[in-house]
Structure 1
Amino acid sequence: MTEPSAQEHTTTQHSSANVEVDTSYENDSSYGDELSSYSTSLTSSVLDYRHENGRRYHKYRDGSYLLPNDEAENDRLDMLHELCLEVLHRKLYLAPIGKPQRVIDLATGTGLWAIDFADSHPQAEVIGCDLSPIQPTLVPPNVKFLVDDIESEWAYERDPFDFIHARYLAFSIKDFGKLIKQCYRSVKPGGWVEFQDWDGYPYSEDGSLDDTGFQRYYDEANNAFEKAGYEVRPGPKLEEWFQDAGFVNIHVEKFQIPHGVWPKDKHLKKVGTWFQAQSEAGLEAGALAALTRYEQWTKEEVILLASQARADGRKRNVHALFDFYIVYGQRPES
């Protein structure tokens, strides 16, 4: 991969032409135990979960993250991991990182990215941090997980990283600019930071999304998240935040992600299948806390909204798309 000059920024648009609809489709060994995998003591506030509307939520820093952390949600996060691997043709990252010695995965979720990275980079010490201790108990010897709030002040600068990775933090973070500046301070000179994230509003190229239950779901849910102070469309803003933090050699790639199996292109059809599977698994979970806590919706009203979105999302003539961005940058050597 050829690196751009220090102040050059590059943007790659994937599938910039309209996504063609498939009109023929009819839609009907060295593993440690649990204690050694965590670098912080798990206090009762970490393990004591909040239960609400039939879902389980984190209790540590209660309320700072509005999606569940139960088994159903963890399964959805694992599907998202597979989706990203499919989008990137089995790559875990795009930054030209070389052979890093110290790596952190922010908001690691179920920890699959950190585990896969540790397996493929045995020379690296890999840390995954999250608000919830939901990661597997059997992990490679060079990965460990800690419970932490990445929007609080870090202590990581004392031993900076070669590579900092973060993925789909939309709907989770209130101040991306501050977080990315924190990353800049915590990465070594010459080190890389990569964020992979969404523009959380769907669209269609043919108007087929207009006035659908699918569109209404995102209008209502996203509005609730935004009113609560969360950033729901960080993807298109990442480049500016990287520039403001002081990164150079910034590279931007944008991918169109279809919802469903309607594209004619085989790769996009497979990507769309994964995206629809995780989406349908997460429609209720994604809106329950935001709408019931901040907009006074009832559980039943959220379930109905999600059901209408699911039904319209399955229609053969609804061609929803989301934009997914990957942005990486380097801290200057000096």
Structure 2
Amino acid sequence: MAETPAQEQTTTTIINNTPTNVEVDTSFENDSSYGDELSSYSESLVSSVLDYRHENGRRYHKFRDGSYLLPNDESENNRLDMLHEMYLELLHRKLYLAPIKKPQRVIDLGTGTGIWAIDFADLHPEAEVIGCDLSPTQPTLVPPNLKFLVDDIESEWAYEKNPFDFIHARYLAGSIKDFGKLIKQCYRSVKPGGWVEFQDWDGYPRSEDGSLDGTGLQRYYDEVYGAFEKAGYEVRPGVKLEQWFKDAGFVNVHAEKFIIPYGIWPKDPHLKKVGTWCQAGAEASGYEAVALAALTRHKQWTQEEVIALASQARADARKRDIHTMFDFYVVYGQRPEN
């Protein structure tokens, strides 16, 4: 149900469930200013974030350990950057579709490698841009108007008093348990008249000619996404985004569906190029990246069983007579001026 202005006025922001009265650590009160203890404490926080989990030959985030099932190592970052190029090709080189004008404050949720935020900051030097993610794996050489934060976007936010002109999120499928709550937080944290845009998948593939049916590739997605769903994650957010936006109270909601083929089988040159990037991303250890933690943690598969499943999926995906495709959605909406 959409929130009314009266409800917004009574909203109480809780930061990470912190109590109202924060107790003072009296061990730091001997001196009038912070010195070496600040440096050592901050170093311990940084080291705790960087103390990654290593499992089945892959590296995973440490902050909020276990809340995200995909790795954050170099191989995965390369895959995400390939997908960034695929999204750009899909949207004809557009970073976003929302009709924003001269944004001053922008956040990219689940920024990953930060590549979208970097491109946006270059495109809009007038804007203050924030990229937010569980892992600090972004580069340090970035535009001066961009900064990255380590945070969990499913925790309570604290942006209502300093809202954004534009909130962007892309490819959160499989990483969020309550999209409805997240989008309502976006509503509360965007300025009146500001825009929110989500770009996301229906994670389950399909084929128009039935060529996917009964293949190892279909079994891969059934098994892997079944594990994600067992763990409580939403893997088909794309098709539901429009309703979630309306439920949150957004107006001028626009939803558009795109086709992402897998491989070079489409005749259309544009779709063939998109499909090539899609396959390249999956070939770059994508099958193992998506499957390993989900199946070993939530379905008790062995690493060897996951690798065998991924190998069969990869072999089927390379067959030209299997015409796999995904539905991909771009949905944006505006918070009412009043």
> Taking structure 2 as the reference length, what is the TM-score of the superposition?
0.86
Which residue of the partner structure matches residue 148 of structure 2? 145
Secondary structure class of the residue paired with 1:93: coil
Per-residue CA distance 1:130-186 (angstroms, 9 max, x = gap):
000000110000000000000001111120000000000000000000000000000
Take 1:324 and 1:280, find their aligned partners in 2: how far apart are those partners?
20
Match of 1:313 among 314, 317, 320: 317
Specify the structure having the higher radius of gyration (Cα).
2
Which residue of the partner structure matches residue 228 of structure 1? 231
Which residue of the partner structure matches residue 278 of structure 1? 281
* One-letter amino acid of the counterpart of residue 233, structure 1: R
Which residue of the partner structure matches residue 60 of structure 2? 57
Which residue of the partner structure matches residue 302 of structure 2? 298
What is the CA-CA distance between 1:65 and the residue it aligns to?
A: 0.1
Take 1:42 and 1:102, find their aligned partners in 2: how far apart are those partners?
27
Match of 1:178 among 155, 178, 181: 181
Q: What is the correspondence of 1:186-205 to structure 2 with a 5 Å cutoff?
A: 186-205=189-208
What is the CA-CA distance between 1:41 and the residue it aligns to?
A: 9.3
Per-residue CA distance 1:165-209 (angstroms, 9 max, x = gap):
000000000000000000000000000000000000000000000
What is the CA-CA distance between 1:47 and the residue it aligns to?
A: 0.8
Secondary structure class of the residue paired with 1:43: helix
Match of 2:161 among 155, 158, 164: 158
What is the CA-CA distance between 1:43 and the residue it aligns to?
A: 2.6
Secondary structure class of the residue paired with 2:85: helix
In structure 1, runs of 5+ residues without a counterpart are 1-39
Match of 2:91 among 88, 96, 103: 88
Q: What is the correspondence of 1:1-334 to structure 2 with a 5 Å cutoff?
A: 43-281=46-284, 282-334=286-338
Take 1:136 and 1:42, find their aligned partners in 2: how far apart are those partners?
19
Take 1:93 and 1:221, find their aligned partners in 2: how far apart are those partners?
29
Classify 1:83/1:41 alpha carbon distance in 2 versus 1 (closer, same or farther; 3 Å).
farther
Take 2:92 and 2:249, find their aligned partners in 1: how far apart are those partners?
30
Take 2:278 and 2:44, find their aligned partners in 1: how far apart are those partners?
36
Take 1:152 and 1:182, find their aligned partners in 2: how far apart are those partners?
10
Take 1:116 and 1:175, find their aligned partners in 2: how far apart are those partners?
28
Secondary structure class of the residue paired with 1:158: coil
Take 1:270 and 1:240, find their aligned partners in 2: how far apart are those partners?
31
Take 2:255 and 2:45, find their aligned partners in 1: how far apart are those partners?
38
Take 2:45 and 2:69, find their aligned partners in 1: how far apart are those partners?
21
Which residue of the partner structure matches residue 25 of structure 1? none
Take 2:45 and 2:270, find their aligned partners in 1: how far apart are those partners?
42
Classify 1:175/1:41 alpha carbon distance in 2 versus 1 (closer, same or farther; 3 Å).
farther
What is the CA-CA distance between 1:42 and the residue it aligns to?
A: 5.2
> Taking structure 1 as the reference length, what is the TM-score of the superposition?
0.87
Secondary structure class of the residue paired with 1:304: helix
How many residue pairs get aligned? The number is 296
Take 2:320 and 2:249, find their aligned partners in 1: how far apart are those partners?
45
Secondary structure class of the residue paired with 2:329: strand
* One-letter amino acid of the counterpart of residue 184, structure 1: Y
* One-letter amino acid of the counterpart of residue 266, structure 1: P
Take 1:66 and 1:150, find their aligned partners in 2: how far apart are those partners?
15
